[in-house]
Structure 1
Amino acid sequence: MYPVRFDGSFAGWREAARHQLQRGLAPHQLSWEDGRQEADLFGQLDTIEPPAANERSVRVPRALLDQLERAARFRCNGRWALLYRILWRVAQGDHAAMMAGDVDGSELHMRLKAVRREAHHLHAFLRFKPRDATAGGPELVAWHEPAHDILASASGHFAERLGRQTWMIATPDDGVYWDGENLHHINPCPPEWKQLAQGTDDRNEAMWLAYYGSTFNPARLNRSVLETNMPVRFWRNLPEGPMIPRLMSQARAGAQADGQAQAVAVRPGKRIQAEAEQVLPVRPPA
């Protein structure tokens, strides 16, 4: 098996993959080593590329390259090997490799779905914290921990909505900064960006927590649905995250009968029974 080394980016992989295709090297002959992982000790045994036939022109559908680029954001061991295997098969005329019904195609579409969902999580669960504009730097900062490499492609969502307001998002791996006109992506994320994103206090947090707690409806709590739509791994980075287990506990302890948050239920006023408590009149038999 021959190691193929590149910088870990999709552009770097694509260039390396094109070269291996032109040389006619099959997937089982190659070991992919990007710049973010340690080299395979056994792969070091074969450091010289094998002899290959004259390089030939290779053409594949543009749609395939788009799919591979998006699937490359999925983090897992062997992410590049699957992409090359699909690319190799399509280049050989086997277009079934792109289909969800194929073994490789099924894995490809699973990764595409996971990447789309992780981008949605970024948009839904990221919380910006405002900073003093006179301090310099971004006006808003946020910390996020995505499961896949979606920050660079998905963060443009915020540029469209925040206009010329400057902001920064830091993650354990990379970061983005919007200066009001251009989006800058840096990998790895600078330590000072991480410190700024994690160390900034949100002066509006108390107001948000009061709103979130008062609008929580225990009568409609469905834990499995909640954890599916808001995965537990995001809770620790959300201001309301520490409140959720307590609100769920109160709901299980009987707060569901009120159909409203405890802080609201204790306030004076007429109590409206939940639907489960309402007694329906019994119709006499016809």
Structure 2
Amino acid sequence: MRQVRFDGSFEGWRKAARALLGEGVAPHRLEWLAGNAVGGLFDQDEAPAPGSPLPNIRIPRQLLDELQSAACFRSADRWSLLYRVLWRVVQGDGAARLAGDIDGSELHARLKAVRREAHHMHAFLRFSPSGVDSAPDYAAWFEPAHDILLSAAPHFAERMGRHSWLIATPEDAVLWDGKTMHYAKPCPQAWKQLAQGAQDPGAELWKAYYESTFNPARLNREVMQSNLPVRFWKNLPEGPLIPQLMSRARAGAQRDGQAERVASQPGKRIAGQVGARRDSD
């Protein structure tokens, strides 16, 4: 089996893939090694006898966009799947891009997972003032399941105006200086420390508001954890409150239409279950 070593980027993979297509090397004869990855014990770096060359290779722009997005999905076989789909399409097998095909189905599932992770980042990332004069105005720490930082970060540049900011993850980071996006992989240790150490002075006020507006009568644990996965709780200001609020709801607070400290105040009591039924009518 031929080992293909490249830098681990999509552009690096694309360059290698185009050369292999030109040589006519089939997917099953390749092992993709990104960065410092180690190959199989019995695999060889030497190239085998080339297959039938493919002249005049033309790759649809839409397919390249799909492959680039799917390349963000973290999986041991991410690069081999991309080459297999690319090989089949170049060979004239357009079914490789369809959801009903075994490869196409996996491709679509990965595209969906990457889009969802980008949505999670846009929804659950929290900036805090850095508090350091020589640092960006705001900093945030995020732990994505896939490599979506570089593609998802422009969302924040459009919304933060001229403020500078930093987003650091365990793998990489982006810094916006108000005009230009700077990307670093791996994430510099100093950036990690800045992002993880930033404190929001309004966090306590936000947690008080979150707790007071929590409606135990409307709690649906499965839906909540689907929309706000548990893995994000630890990096949200309100994260430590969520298990407590859910526990209170299970212990009987669901009979109230308000959080406990609100329900205990003088005034007319709102029946949680009745209110929930009326709103759903």
- TM-score for the superposition, normalised by structure 1: 0.93
Contact 1:23 1:56 in 2 (8 A): no
What whole-Å deviation, never above 9, does each CA across 1:224-260 have from its counterpart, x for those lacking one?
Answer: 0000000011111111111001000111111111110
Question: Where does the alignment leave 5 or more consecutive residues of structure 1 unmatched?
Answer: 279-286
Deviation at 1:276, TM superposition (A): 3.5
Deviation at 1:270, TM superposition (A): 2.1
Question: Where does the alignment leave 5 or more consecutive residues of structure 2 unmatched?
Answer: 277-281
What whole-Å deviation, never above 9, does each CA across 1:53-109 have from its counterpart, x for those lacking one?
Answer: 557331121111110000000001111000000000001000010111111000000
The residue number in structure 1 matching 2:138 is: 140
Q: Does 1:239 align with 2:237?
A: yes
What whole-Å deviation, never above 9, does each CA across 1:137-187 have from its counterpart, x for those lacking one?
Answer: 111100000000000000110000011111000000000000001111111
The residue number in structure 2 matching 1:173 is: 171
Q: Does 1:256 align with 2:244?
A: no
Q: Does 1:94 align with 2:88?
A: no
SS at match of 2:159: helix
Cα RMSD after superposing both structures: 1.5
In structure 2, relative to structure 1, the CA distance for the partners of 1:277 and 1:112 (3 Å cut) is: closer
In structure 2, relative to structure 1, the CA distance for the partners of 1:222 and 1:54 (3 Å cut) is: closer
Deviation at 1:37, TM superposition (A): 2.4
SS at match of 1:145: coil
The residue number in structure 2 matching 1:283 is: none
Deviation at 1:267, TM superposition (A): 1.6
CA distance in 1, matches of 2:53, 2:22: 8
Q: Does 1:8 align with 2:26?
A: no
Deviation at 1:49, TM superposition (A): 1.3
The residue number in structure 2 matching 1:83 is: 82
CA distance in 2, matches of 1:276, 1:5: 63
Contact 1:165 1:180 in 2 (8 A): yes
Q: Does 1:107 align with 2:106?
A: yes
CA distance in 1, matches of 2:36, 2:138: 29
The residue number in structure 2 matching 1:24 is: 24
SS at match of 2:223: helix
The residue number in structure 2 matching 1:56 is: 55
CA distance in 2, matches of 1:277, 1:166: 44
Deviation at 1:265, TM superposition (A): 1.1
Single out whichever of 259-268 and 86-95 deviates more from structure 2. 259-268
Contact 1:144 1:237 in 2 (8 A): yes
Single out whichever of 222-231 and 201-210 deviates more from structure 2. 201-210
For residues 28-43 of structure 1, the aligned pairs below 5 Å read 28-43=28-43
Contact 2:163 2:178 in 1 (8 A): yes
The residue number in structure 2 matching 1:223 is: 221
CA distance in 1, matches of 2:209, 2:114: 31
SS at match of 1:228: helix
Deviation at 1:277, TM superposition (A): 8.9
CA distance in 2, matches of 1:261, 1:111: 39
Deviation at 1:39, TM superposition (A): 3.4
Q: Does 1:116 align with 2:115?
A: yes
CA distance in 2, matches of 1:60, 1:23: 16
Q: Does 1:66 align with 2:52?
A: no
Deviation at 1:36, TM superposition (A): 4.8
Contact 1:59 1:91 in 2 (8 A): yes
In structure 2, relative to structure 1, the CA distance for the partners of 1:35 and 1:217 (3 Å cut) is: same
In structure 2, relative to structure 1, the CA distance for the partners of 1:33 and 1:252 (3 Å cut) is: same
Q: Does 1:128 align with 2:127?
A: yes
